[in-house]
Structure 1
Amino acid sequence: MSNLILKKFSSPYWQLKSFILLALWMICGETFAADAQLQGYVMQIQMTPAVCSMDQSSAKQRKCMEGYSLTITGLLPEVRPGTNCRTNSSANLSPIQTKVIAKVMPDESGRSQLWHEVGGCVPMNASQYFRTVISYAEKLKVPSDLTGYENKVVDQAKLRAQFLRLNPSLPSQGIRFSCQNRQEPAVLTEVKVCYHVNGHYKQCSSRVVANCPNDILIKSSY
């Protein structure tokens, strides 16, 4: 019996099958390794009126033409620097899910590009990933100052305090503000919120940068 098994596994067929199994194991091993490196997520929330007014190349995008006040540009996996997160897997969504995700991410080409850039480092498919984006977006409460109809200068510390009051489980350093500083006052362009892998808020790592001064302008009109 032992000789028969040895002969069977030494045949060309079994050599080829063993090679295929080894290749699949290596591919899966790389995927699991990428998953194991996942330390959390950073959700990027764009201040759409500010970006649309400063970037003429985006003026004809849906988010600008339809007057979105906030859009999500990404839910980025936190992995080891230099990790290749690209994927060739499909970014196609069902019509219903497309309609839902368009409420916060209206640019279809942007969604597809995002998925292909980060999909290799998240333990889910595109449908699950964008469902997670919606879940995080629905959970997060944003201050009314970010969605008003008039430009407003606010103190960064007060804006942070508003976020913390609306989201009690959000740590003080679980949020970062990014600004365009080429004018006075600086214009708020992006809010970043940090999450554990399980979706709970966490303190942002030092790699999640912030560059806003004390006084920042929230541009709420196009």
Structure 2
Amino acid sequence: MIFFQYRAVLTRFALLVLSSVGLSLFTSHVFAAPVQGYVMLVQMTPAVCLLDTQKSKKRKCLEGYSLNIAGLFPETSESECKTASSAALSPLQAKVVARVMPDENARVQLWSAIGGCVPMNASQYFRTVINYAERLKVPAELTSPETRPMHIANLRLRFLRLNPTLPVNAIKFNCSVSHGTPILTEVKLCYKNNGQYKQCPATVETNCPVSFIIKGSY
């Protein structure tokens, strides 16, 4: 899974070790640098499944998801964010998370890759993902069974109208090209640590052209 490392000049944290007494919800982490915000990556599932044959047999493709969350990635100066801490969730929480992150293996790999750079345990992290996903209102064009052309300015405007607190520079779009046609594959949203939207850092870019295709759900 692709994930993003964001660079900044930051001070370093000391080693944080939490005991199990009274803190059983937490797992010990090493936080070398503070998190300056987060980027949530929303995948256009039909497009991703069409373009990547290796993913076509995953649950999100086989069960016809129109969108899924690829991750909530920390904005940090750290180049290494791996963790050996558990990604295990309660059965109830795992069921809730599966609504937006249907592939359990992808969830485990995500936590293993970025868990060392977030000041939360796995349960808290995935609860945050759910909170952000539930708050975001998505234009109907992204969940429609119809494949259609879209102008980038029009799609951005639809997001802004549905989410009044979303600044214009807090959302970015990524496309991939198939047979000469650009197809929307990702929407990225940038957050402050408190969950409010913020201007995306320069490392989060839009690579979509003025017009592209939104692949319909199936």
* Fold shared, TM-score > 0.5 on shorter chain: yes
1:84-118 superposed Cα distances (whole Å, 9 cap, x missing partner): 11110000000000000000001101000000111
Provide the alpha-carbon RMSD of the alignment. Answer: 1.7
Of residues 65, 68, 72, the one that matches 2:69 is 72
Per-residue deviation at 1:50? 0.5
Q: Which has the larger radius of gyration?
A: 1
Which structure 2 residues correspond to residues 41-120 of structure 1 after superposition, within 5 A?
Answer: 41-80=38-77, 82-120=78-116
The answer on 1:147 being equivalent to 2:146 is: no
Structure that is richer in helix per residue: 1
* Unpaired stretches in structure 1, ≥5 consecutive residues: 1-24
> Do 1:181 and 1:212's aligned partners in 2 also have CA atoms closer than 8 Å?
no
Give the secondary structure class of the aligned counterpart of 1:113: helix
Describe the shift of the 1:27–1:182 C-alpha distance in structure 2 as closer, same or farther (beyond 3 A): same
Give the secondary structure class of the aligned counterpart of 1:28: coil
1:26-69 superposed Cα distances (whole Å, 9 cap, x missing partner): 632883543x2x10000000000001111111111100000000
Give the secondary structure class of the aligned counterpart of 1:154: strand
- Which residue does the alignment assign to 1:28? 16
Per-residue deviation at 1:182? 4.3
Give the secondary structure class of the aligned counterpart of 1:31: coil
- Which residue does the alignment assign to 1:217? 213
- Which residue does the alignment assign to 1:22? none
* Unpaired stretches in structure 2, ≥5 consecutive residues: 1-12, 18-28
Per-residue deviation at 1:221? 3.5
What CA distance in whole angstroms lies between the structure 2 residues aligned with 1:180 and 1:109? 24
Per-residue deviation at 1:159? 0.2
Give the secondary structure class of the aligned counterpart of 2:131: helix
Paired amino acid for 2:115: G
Per-residue deviation at 1:216? 1.1
> Do 1:185 and 1:215's aligned partners in 2 also have CA atoms closer than 8 Å?
no
What CA distance in whole angstroms lies between the structure 2 residues aligned with 1:56 and 1:203? 34
What CA distance in whole angstroms lies between the structure 1 residues aligned with 2:30 and 2:96? 29
Instruction: Give the count of matched residue pairs.
Output: 195
> Do 1:48 and 1:70's aligned partners in 2 also have CA atoms closer than 8 Å?
yes
| Identical-pair percentage | 57
Structure 1 length as normaliser, TM-score?
A: 0.84
